[in-house]
Amino acid sequence: MTEIQSGGSVAAGDDLRPTVERHTQDIAELRQDVGDIKRSQNALRDEVIGMRAEGKQWRASSDQQAETLRTSIASLTREIAVRNGVDQERNRQSQERTQALKRLSIWVGIMTGILGLIGTTLFSSQTFDTAFWGHFRTHPKIEAQINATPNH
């Protein structure tokens, strides 16, 4: 073996033990380095697996929160629609009552006007007045000139 091949001094012809021993030590160090690298790779792999699991968990949690939010929004939308529907129905009923009261007040006004006309026509008549009110005497000595009978 040459000096370049052994990485140092050339051993004596028959004595290769120090070279083998050095190579054995180098191989042991290489094995230790490879073991360290494997352990480091395993640790990295475990860390990546953990990060993936955390990412999946975060994504599932995020999806669940988004679904909860969508459900809440949909529920709120339905509640607002129902409340608007109730308000619209209440407004419609109020308008119907207002219209009914308007119709009733118009009808009462017309009837009052008609009865007033009939009453003024009947009660202003001299014949009716004499026929109806003439039988009632408020005071025996005081008599209206209209209802008075001649004293002959």
Question: What DSSP string runs through 21-46?
Answer: HHHHHHHHHHHHHHHHHHHHHHHHHH
- Give the mean model confidence (pLDDT) for residues 25-39: 95
User: Which pLDDT score, from 0 to 100, does residue 78 have?
Assistant: 92
pTM for the model stands at 0.40
User: Which pLDDT score, from 0 to 100, does residue 9 have?
Assistant: 59
Angle at 117 between CA 111 and CA 123, to 5 degrees: 125
Ranking 19-28, 30-39, 58-67, 119-128 by mean pLDDT, the lowest is 119-128
Contact 10, 16 (CB under 8 A): no
Ranking 8-22, 88-102, 127-141 by mean pLDDT, the lowest is 127-141
CA dist., res. 112 & res. 106, Å (int):
10
When comparing pLDDT for 26 and 122, which is higher? Answer: 26
Q: Residue 99: pLDDT above 60?
A: yes
